[in-house]
Amino acid sequence: MFDYIRCSYPLPLEGANAHTYQTKDAPAQFCDIYEIREDGTLWHEAYDIEDQSNPDAKGIERIFGTCAHVNQRWEPVNFTGEIRFYDFSKDTLEGPGEGWIEWSAYFIKGKLKCLELIEDRK
């Protein structure tokens, strides 16, 4: 799977902070949400899982709500390693068209130490 990551830390390309990126390098790998805050710290939207399904539902509808997210909260992540995050967009940073943007962020104990633009293909 993958996770989503938003970046409030100033990225050195105009408009790059407006993207919601994907990553396969974050710990959860279950379509969770991460955030790199303005101060360079890594945060994860944690939650508890609860079964809120309808026991009277029929067919495929029986699984709806089985893994509902409850008690959502933001927690800091004590992560050391590289997280690559990227976005494919029909609207690039320079206007309409197809493009790919990819970043590499290296963290030590949850604090951003190095950020590099890997690719900005319009």
Entry field: residues in the chain: 122
For residues 15-22, average pLDDT: 92
3-state secondary structure of 20: strand
Closest to 5 measured CA to CA, from 89, 105, 108, 90:
105
Report whether pLDDT(62) > 70: no
For residues 12-28, average pLDDT: 91
Report whether pLDDT(12) > 60: yes
3-state secondary structure of 61: helix
pTM: 0.79
Name the pLDDT band for 55 (thresholds 50, 70, 90): confident
- pLDDT at site 90: 61
How many domains would you assign to the chain? 1
Name the pLDDT band for 50 (thresholds 50, 70, 90): confident
Average pLDDT over the chain reads: 86
* H or E stretch covering 105: strand 95-108
* Alpha-carbon distances, residue 23 vs 29, 62, 64, 87, 118 (angstroms): 8, 30, 26, 9, 14
- pLDDT at site 67: 67
- pLDDT at site 106: 98
Report whether pLDDT(33) > 70: yes
The whole domain housing 39 covers: 3-121
